[in-house]
C-alpha cells in the first residue's frame, strides 16, 4: 500500500503542477534545491533501512520491499513528462506551455546539456547518479512484469522513460496502462505526446486519434486541447487549431503569460484561416553539424544526435533543441524560438549563444561515457553559417 500511495502522491503532484504552472515557471534555483533535499532524504532513509537490516530488525524480504518502495518515491520525485510534439512555428508555444511546465522538468533539461551535477550532487560522494536512476527504472519495469495490472506503475514507467528520452519504451509503457485504463484522459494525452515524439515529433495519425479520444472523455483537458490544436495546425486546419486553443483560455489565469501566449497563437491561426499572412518569425540560428573523420567509425547510423543552443552567459537550460539521426551527418540545422523548451527561455532573449551537438549512444537525453560531442564558439542568436564539429568523446 505504501507504494500505491507514493504513486498517487506523484500523480497528484503532476496534476497540481499543470494547474499552478505560472508559479512553477518562476521557481528558478529553488526547484533544484528542493530536488537536492529530496535526494538527500532518500539517501538518509536508504542508510537507515540498510542499518536496520544489519541489526536484524528486518528480514531480507521485508528490507527488499521497503527499499523498492523508497526507490519508487524517488522516481516519482525525479520524473518529468515529455515535451509534446513541436507544431509548425508559433503553434509550439501553447503546446509547450501546457506539456512542459512541471516541477521537475529541469532534471531532463540539465541531463540534456551535460550538467546533471545540479541534481545528482556536486561532490560525487554518495550521490544519486543517472546510472542509479536507470537502475531504479529497470527495477520498476521488473516489478511491473510481475504485477502487470498496476496501471499507476505503468504510467510512472512511461514518464520515467520519456524523461530519459526513450520514447519508444515510453510508448510501450503508456500502451499497457491505456489498455487497463482506457478512459483516463490525462494518460491518453501523455500517450499521444510520447507516440508523437517517437514518430519524429508528428501528431498526425494515431497520436491525434488518442488526443481526440482524450477530449471526448474530458473536454477540458488542457494538454489534450494544446495537442489537438497543434495537430490541426500541422495539417493546416488553421480554423480548427484556433478553436482548440481558444478553448484553453478559460482554463488559465487571464492575465498570465500562458494566456498571452495562447491568445497570440489563436490570433496567428485565425489569421491563417482567413487567408492572411502569419506574423513574421525570428530568423533564428542556422548552420551545419559535422563529424570529425577520426570519430566517423564510432557512429551507428541510428544514433540520435541532439543539437541545441544555450546562452553563452546565463542559465544552462537549452533555448532550442533539434534531434536528427547520425546517418544524416553532416546535417544542416535551424534553431528558433518555436523550439523553446520552457516559457520565457527563448533563443531571441539571449544575444550570444553556444551551439552544441551530442551523439547519444544510448538514445537518451542523459549524457553517457562514449557519447560524441562538439560545440561552437559563442555566436549571435541569429547567426547563419555556424559550424559545429563533433570531435570529442564524453568520458
The pLDDT tens digits for 17-61 are 443 443 333 333 334 445 555 565 566 666 666 766 666 666 666
CB of 185 closer than 8 Å to CB of 214: yes
Q: What is the three-class DSSP state of 292?
A: coil
What are 185's three cell numbers? Answer: 484522459
- The length of the chain, given as a count of residues: 395
**Run of H or E residues at 372:** strand 372-375
Compute the distance between CA of residue 336 and CA of residue 318 in angstroms, rounded to an integer. Answer: 12
CB of 196 closer than 8 Å to CB of 216: no
Compute the distance between CA of residue 22 and CA of residue 111 in angstroms, rounded to an integer. Answer: 23
Nearest partner of 191 among 227, 146, 218, judged by Cα: 227
**What pLDDT score does 20 carry?**
41
* CATH architecture of residue range(s) 2-273: Alpha Horseshoe (1.25)
**What pLDDT score does 107 carry?**
39
Compute the distance between CA of residue 372 and CA of residue 90 in angstroms, rounded to an integer. Answer: 32
Phi-psi region of 310 (alpha: psi -120 to 50; beta: other; left: phi over 0): beta
**What pLDDT score does 308 carry?**
93
Nearest partner of 100 among 18, 1, 222, judged by Cα: 18
- Quickly list DSSP for 78-110: H--PPPPPPPSTTHHHHHHHHHT--TTHHHHHH
**What pLDDT score does 343 carry?**
61
Compute the distance between CA of residue 51 and CA of residue 73 in angstroms, rounded to an integer. Answer: 20
What are 391's three cell numbers? Answer: 570531435
**What pLDDT score does 216 carry?**
95
> What are the residues facing 345 on neighbouring strands?
none
What are 274's three cell numbers? Answer: 482567413
What are 252's three cell numbers? Answer: 488559465
* Residue 131 CB coordination number (10 Å): 12
Q: Which residues contact 32 (CB under 8 A, 6 or more apart)?
A: 106, 118, 119
Residue ranges of the chain with pLDDT lower than 70?
1-49, 51-130, 275-283, 341-344
Residue 324 sits at the vertex; the CA angle it makes with 319 and 329, to the nearest 5 degrees, is 115
Nearest partner of 385 among 286, 311, 317, judged by Cα: 286
What is the pTM (predicted TM-score) of this model? 0.48
**What pLDDT score does 373 carry?**
94
**What pLDDT score does 105 carry?**
39
Would strands 285-291 and 386-390 be described as parallel, antiparallel, or unpaired?
parallel
Nearest partner of 366 among 145, 128, 155, 74, judged by Cα: 128
Q: How far apart are the first and last CA of the chain?
A: 41
Phi-psi region of 360 (alpha: psi -120 to 50; beta: other; left: phi over 0): beta
> What are the residues facing 392 on neighbouring strands?
373
Amino acid at each position: 500500500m505504501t507504494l500505491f500511495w507514493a504513486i498517487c502522491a506523484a500523480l497528484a503532484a503532476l496534476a497540481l503542477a499543470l494547474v499552478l504552472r505560472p508559479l512553477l515557471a518562476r521557481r528558478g534555483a529553488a526547484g533544484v534545491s528542493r530536488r537536492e533535499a529530496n535526494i538527500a532524504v532518500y539517501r538518509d532513509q536508504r542508510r537507515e533501512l540498510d542499518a536496520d537490516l544489519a541489526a536484524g530488525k528486518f528480514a531480507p524480504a521485508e528490507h527488499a520491499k521497503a527499499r523498492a518502495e523508497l526507490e519508487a518515491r524517488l522516481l516519482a520525485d525525479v520524473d518529468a513528462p515529455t515535451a509534446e510534439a513541436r507544431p509548425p512555428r508559433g503553434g509550439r508555444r501553447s503546446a509547450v506551455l501546457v506539456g512542459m511546465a512541471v516541477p521537475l522538468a529541469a532534471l531532463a533539461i540539465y541531463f540534456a546539456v551535460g550538467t546533471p551535477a545540479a541534481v545528482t550532487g556536486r561532490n560525487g560522494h554518495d550521490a544519486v547518479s543517472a546510472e542509479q536512476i536507470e537502475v531504479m527504472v529497470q527495477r520498476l519495469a521488473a516489478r511491473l512484469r510481475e504485477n502487470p495490472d498496476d496501471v499507476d506503475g505503468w504510467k510512472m514507467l512511461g514518464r520515467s522513460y520519456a524523461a530519459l528520452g526513450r520514447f519508444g519504451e515510453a510508448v510501450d509503457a503508456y500502451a499497457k496502462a491505456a489498455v487497463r485504463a482506457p478512459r483516463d484522459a490525462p494518460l491518453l494525452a501523455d500517450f499521444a505526446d510520447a507516440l508523437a515524439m517517437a514518430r519524429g515529433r508528428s501528431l498526425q495519425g494515431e497520436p491525434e486519434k488518442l488526443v481526440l479520444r482524450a477530449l471526448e472523455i474530458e473536454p477540458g483537458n488542457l494538454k489534450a486541447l494544446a495537442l489537438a490544436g497543434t495537430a490541426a495546425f500541422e495539417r493546416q486546419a488553421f480554423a480548427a487549431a484556433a478553436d482548440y486553443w481558444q478553448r484553453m483560455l478559460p482554463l488559465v489565469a487571464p492575465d498570465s503569460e500562458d494566456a498571452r501566449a495562447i491568445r497570440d497563437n489563436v490570433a496567428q491561426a485565425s489569421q491563417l484561416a482567413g487567408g492572411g499572412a502569419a506574423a513574421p518569425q525570428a530568423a533564428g540560428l542556422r548552420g551545419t553539424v559535422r563529424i570529425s573523420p577520426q570519430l566517423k567509425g564510432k557512429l551507428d547510423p541510428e544514433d540520435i544526435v541532439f543539437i541545441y543552443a544555450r546562452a553563452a552567459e546565463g542559465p544552462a537550460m537549452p533555448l532550442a533543441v533539434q534531434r536528427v539521426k547520425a546517418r544524416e551527418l553532416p546535417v544542416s540545422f535551424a534553431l528558433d524560438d518555436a523550439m523553446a523548451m520552457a516559457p520565457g527561455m527563448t533563443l531571441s532573449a539571449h544575444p550570444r549563444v553556444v551551439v552544441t551537438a551530442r551523439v547519444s549512444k544510448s538514445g537518451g537525453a542523459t549524457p553517457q561515457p562514449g557519447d560524441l560531442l562538439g560545440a561552437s564558439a559563442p555566436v549571435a542568436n541569429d547567426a547563419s553559417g555556424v559550424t559545429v564539429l563533433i570531435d570529442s568523446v564524453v568520458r
